[in-house]
Amino acid sequence: MIEFRGVTKRFPGGTLAVDELDLVAEQGRITVFVGPSGCGKTTSLRMINRMVEPTSGELRVDGQDVLAADPADLRRGIGYVIQQAGLFPHRTVVDNIATVPMLLGRGRKAARDRAMELMETVGLDTSMARRYPAQLSGGQQQRVGVARALAADPPVLLMDEPFSAVDPVVRESLQDELLRLQSEIGKTIVFVTHDIDEAVKLGDKVAVFRVGGKLAQYDEPGVLLSRPVDDFVDNFVGRDRGYRGLGFLTSETILLGSLDMLSMGDPRPDDGWALVLDGTGRPLGWVADGDGPVTEDTIVPGGSLYTVGSGSLRGALDAALSSPSGQGVAVDADGRVAGSITADAVLAALPAARDDSAA
Ligand X SMILES: Nc1ncnc2c1ncn2[C@@H]1O[C@H](COP(=O)(O)OP(=O)(O)OP(=O)(O)O)[C@@H](O)[C@H]1O
Identify the residue among 11, 71, 110, 180 touching ligand X (CB under 6 A): 11
Pick from 218, 238, 185: nearest CA to 44: 218
Contact string 30-69 vs Mg ion (x = CB under 5 A): ------------x---------------------------
Please, what is the minimum distance in Å from the beta carbon of residue 213 to ligand X? 6
Strand bridging mode 30-34 / 205-210? parallel
Identify the residue among 7, 41, 94, 315 touching ligand X (CB under 6 A): 41
What are the backbone dihedrals phi and psi of residue 131, each rounded to the nearest 5 degrees, phi first? -80, 165
Contact 258, 274 (CB under 8 A): no
Identify the residue among 7, 30, 39, 78 touching ligand X (CB under 6 A): 39
Q: Which stretch binds ligand X (CB under 6 A): 23-31, 33-41, 84-92, 311-319?
A: 33-41
Question: What are the CA-CA distances from residue 257 to residues 237, 305, 339, 340 (Å)?
Answer: 35, 14, 6, 5
Pick the closer one to ligand X by CB: 44 or 140.
44
Q: Which stretch binds ligand X (CB under 6 A): 41-49, 120-128, 308-316, 340-348?
A: 41-49
Q: Which stretch binds ligand X (CB under 6 A): 23-31, 39-47, 111-119, 256-264?
A: 39-47
Identify the residue among 42, 92, 99, 142 touching ligand X (CB under 6 A): 42
What are the backbone dihedrals phi and psi of residue 42, each rounded to the nearest 5 degrees, phi first? -65, -40
Length of the chain: 359
Q: Which stretch binds ligand X (CB under 6 A): 32-40, 67-75, 214-222, 269-277?
A: 32-40
Q: Is the dihedral of CA 85, 91, 92, 96 positive or negative?
A: negative
DSSP state of 187: -
Please, what is the minimum distance in Å from the beta carbon of residue 210 to ligand X? 10
Q: Which long-range contacts (CB under 8 A, 24 or more apart) does 232-236 make?
A: 233/208, 236/34, 236/35, 236/36, 236/196, 236/208
- The interface with ligand X within residues 166-205 (CB under 6 A) comprises 194
Please, what is the minimum distance in Å from the beta carbon of residue 179 to ligand X? 22
Can you tell me whether residue 125 is helix, strand or coil? coil
Pick the closer one to ligand X by CB: 17 or 349.
17
For 165, counting Cβ atoms within 10 Å of its Cβ (0-12 exposed, 13-18 middle, 19+ buried), the class is middle
Please, what is the minimum distance in Å from the beta carbon of residue 232 to ligand X? 15
Q: Does 86 engage in binding with ligand X (CB under 6 A)?
A: no
Residues binding ligand X (CB under 6 A): 11, 13, 15, 17, 35, 37-43, 194
